[in-house]
């Protein structure tokens, strides 16, 4: 009798485990993953039942799913209604009769990640025109001084030392400044010649971003692979790579080397156009620290969208800049240090309090752009479960994740009907890294959280994505 019960129990256990093992084995059996490292974990958020796992505690480079950690920390520690403020004021005295200001205009940054961003055009509208109008309302008609931008809110290390050299010159590697503007991005328009002899720059927007770039982008082939190489605060750099021949207008999105100085120049130029003469050249407090901490008379203030709205764009469009801003803001708010390292300490403390085991997790930045980040699928899923069960702002967190096949970075992924209205997730992608993490429901009604991280696959990124989609589809259908 005991032998019969034992046999039945073993058969039942094998029946329960087999679907999980089968889905994982099918996924891993593809030849493109032969030399890859994979960490995956799928669990029922209510019962805790493990629906699938493989190397769940193996730490790998996560790419942009790191933003799930940063955005969770920002929502929990700063709150969804948190805002950032940028102020405009002046020092000195205004002669009421002549309108002459014997002093300086000072624009003080407050860490706003999105000031002037196209992602929030309805919110900011033409904020520069509003500032100019407010300057006029203050009675200023001439400035015997300068336009100064105060970018001291964060440290003066806008680009992380652990990022790859090819990243900081491009829009996705734009640096983080105490006074950021226009997503710290501008456009270089190129035209490639029909005889494959090269390319030429036709336009730069805004024109104030005209740096001394050596253009080495060639014309030829069928693909687009062009990069800008420049250091933060620099005025020189070079463009490299290639675009197809005979392209009329190829637009490169390039990182602004010194956003605070750019904004000071733009305000200065607008004032001159409005007939308000400024006697001295625009500068920043980084280069002229003598102007730090001066008492000002405020004439205008620009408040950012609520943090939850910025998180929504951050996770939908995977904006590295916003994640890095949040990281430095956490450091400034909780440790009085607007640095990435301080922010990472705060994020790790948050994870530990949330019951996430950070042993073996290596967090370098907030966006996942550094290849030296390393996390594992199990603990990321544990964070997702924590947010669902414990966060009063879970609705904001969940709504920030793209919906399968319908928006953001998932606009062209998870198109199978089985995912429609059923999966919300953050994607991650960099060279030989593909990752996804989020939530879905199985056909039997189980609510699941998942994370799949793949490093060093040998196939294409699209092929790896398809394998992950098929794996998750099988879990949905069989669980």
Domains and CATH numbers, the chain: 17-80+308-478 (3.40.710.10), 86-305 (no CATH)
Supply the pLDDT for residue 426. 98
Of 42, 17, 24, 74, nearest to 382 by C-alpha is 42
Q: Say yes or no to pLDDT of 424 above 80.
A: yes
Residues near 49 by beta carbon (within 8 Å), at least 6 away in sequence? 43, 446
Q: How many CA atoms lie within 13 A of 265 on its CB side?
A: 11
Of 130, 150, 180, 155, nearest to 90 by C-alpha is 150
**Which of the two residues, 257 and 222, has the higher pLDDT score?**
257
pTM for this model (two decimals): 0.93
Supply the pLDDT for residue 281. 97
Q: What's the mean pLDDT in 272-301?
A: 96
**Which of the two residues, 222 and 158, has the higher pLDDT score?**
158
With beta carbons less than 8 A apart as the criterion, state whether 467 and 16 touch.
no
Confidence grade of residue 12 (pLDDT, cut at 50, 70, 90): very low
Supply the pLDDT for residue 372. 97
Q: Where are the beta strands (DSSP E) in 196-344?
A: 199-205, 212-219, 225-230, 236-243, 250-255, 277-278, 283-284, 297-303
pLDDT tens digits, one per residue of 341-359: 999 999 999 999 999 999 9
Supply the pLDDT for residue 87. 98
Identify the DSSP state of 403: B
Q: Say yes or no to pLDDT of 4 above 90.
A: no
> How would DSSP label each residue in 146-202?
-EEEE-TTS-S--S-TTS-TTSTTBGGG----SS--GGGEEEEEEEE-TTSS-EEEE
Supply the pLDDT for residue 194. 83
Confidence grade of residue 13 (pLDDT, cut at 50, 70, 90): very low
Q: How many CA atoms lie within 13 A of 117 on its CB side?
A: 22
Q: Say yes or no to pLDDT of 17 above 70.
A: no
With beta carbons less than 8 A apart as the criterion, state whether 311 and 72 touch.
no
With beta carbons less than 8 A apart as the criterion, state whether 163 and 121 touch.
no
With beta carbons less than 8 A apart as the criterion, state whether 380 and 435 touch.
no
Supply the pLDDT for residue 6. 42
Q: Which tokens is 205 given?
A: 């927007």
Give phi and psi for 139, each to the nearest 5: 90, 15
pLDDT tens digits, one per residue of 186-239: 999 999 988 777 899 999 988 888 778 899 999 988 888 888 998 899 988 899
How far, in Å, CA of 108 to CA of 295, rounded? 11
Supply the pLDDT for residue 302. 98
Confidence grade of residue 20 (pLDDT, cut at 50, 70, 90): low
Q: Say yes or no to pLDDT of 301 above 70.
A: yes
Least confident of 2-6, 109-113, 161-165, 361-365: 2-6
| Residues β-bridged to residue 90 | 105, 297
Of 118, 179, 171, nearest to 302 by C-alpha is 179
How far, in Å, CA of 328 to CA of 342, rounded? 7
Supply the pLDDT for residue 81. 98
With beta carbons less than 8 A apart as the criterion, state whether 328 and 109 touch.
no
Residues near 472 by beta carbon (within 8 Å), at least 6 away in sequence? 42, 414, 419, 423, 436, 440, 450, 452
Supply the pLDDT for residue 215. 92
Q: What's the mean pLDDT in 12-38?
A: 76
With beta carbons less than 8 A apart as the criterion, state whether 208 and 182 touch.
no
Classify residue 232 as exposed, middle or buried by CB count within 10 Å of its CB (0-12, 13-18, 19+). Answer: buried
How far, in Å, CA of 114 to CA of 182, rounded? 7
Supply the pLDDT for residue 21. 74
Cα–Cα–Cα angle for 100, 104, 109, rounded to 5 degrees: 140
Element (H, E) at 436: strand 433-441
pLDDT tens digits, one per residue of 40-98: 999 999 999 999 999 999 999 999 999 999 999 999 999 999 999 999 999 999 999 99
For the chain, the average pLDDT equals 93
Buried b or exposed e, range 151-175, using 16+ CB within 10 angstroms: bbbbbbebbbeebeeebbbbbbbbb
Q: Say yes or no to pLDDT of 7 above 90.
A: no
Residues near 65 by beta carbon (within 8 Å), at least 6 away in sequence? 368, 380, 426, 427, 428, 435, 436, 437, 451, 453
How far, in Å, CA of 465 to CA of 479, rounded? 21
Q: What's the mean pLDDT in 361-387?
A: 97
Supply the pLDDT for residue 221. 82
């Amino acid at each position: 009798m005991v032998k019969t019960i034992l046999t039945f129990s073993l058969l039942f256990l094998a029946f329960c485990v087999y679907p999980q093992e089968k889905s994982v084995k099918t996924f891993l059996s593809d030849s493109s993953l032969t030399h890859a490292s994979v960490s995956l974990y799928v669990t029922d958020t209510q019962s805790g039942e493990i629906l699938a796992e493989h190397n769940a505690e193996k730490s790998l480079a996560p790419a942009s799913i790191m933003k799930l950690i940063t955005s969770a920390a920002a929502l929990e520690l700063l709150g969804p209604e948190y805002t950032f403020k940028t102020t405009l004021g002046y020092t000195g005295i205004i002669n009421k009769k002549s309108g002459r200001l014997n002093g300086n205009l000072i624009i003080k940054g407050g860490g706003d990640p999105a000031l002037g961003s196209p992602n929030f055009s309805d919110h900011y509208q033409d904020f520069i025109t509003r500032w100019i109008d407010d300057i006029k309302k203050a009675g200023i008609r001439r400035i015997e001084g300068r336009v100064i931008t105060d970018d001291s809110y964060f440290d003066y290390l806008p680009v992380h030392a652990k990022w790859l050299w090819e990243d900081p010159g491009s829009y996705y590697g734009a640096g983080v400044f105490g006074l950021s503007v226009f997503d710290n991005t501008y456009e270089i328009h190129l035209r490639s010649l029909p005889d494959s002899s090269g390319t030429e720059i036709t336009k730069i927007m805004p024109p104030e971003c005209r740096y001394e770039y050596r253009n080495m982008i060639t014309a030829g082939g069928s693909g687009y692979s062009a990069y800008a190489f420049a250091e933060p605060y620099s005025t020189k750099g070079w463009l490299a790579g290639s675009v197809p021949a005979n392209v009329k207008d190829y637009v490169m999105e390039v990182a602004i080397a010194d956003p605070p100085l750019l904004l000071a120049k733009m305000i200065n130029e607008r004032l001159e156009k409005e007939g308000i003469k400024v006697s001295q050249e625009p500068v920043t407090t980084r280069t002229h620290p003598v102007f730090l901490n001066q008492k000002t008379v405020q004439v205008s203030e620009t408040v950012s969208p609520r943090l939850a709205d910025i998180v929504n764009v951050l996770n939908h469009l995977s904006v590295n800049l916003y994640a890095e801003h949040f990281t430095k803001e956490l450091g400034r708010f909780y440790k009085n240090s607007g640095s990435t390292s301080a922010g990472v300490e705060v994020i790790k403390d948050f994870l530990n309090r949330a019951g996430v085991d950070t042993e073996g997790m290596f967090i370098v930045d907030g966006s996942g752009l550094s290849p030296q980040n390393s996390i594992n699928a199990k603990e990321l899923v544990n964070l997702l479960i924590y947010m669902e069960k414990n966060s009063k702002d879970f609705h904001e967190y969940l709504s920030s994740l793209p919906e399968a096949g319908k928006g953001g970075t998932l606009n062209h992924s998870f198109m199978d009907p089985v995912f429609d209205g059923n999966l919300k997730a953050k994607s991650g992608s960099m060279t030989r890294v593909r990752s996804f993490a989020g939530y879905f429901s199985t056909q039997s009604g189980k609510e699941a959280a998942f994370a799949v991280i793949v490093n060093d696959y040998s196939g294409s990124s699209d092929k790896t994505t398809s394998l992950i989609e098929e794996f998750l589809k099988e879990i949905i259908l069989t669980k």
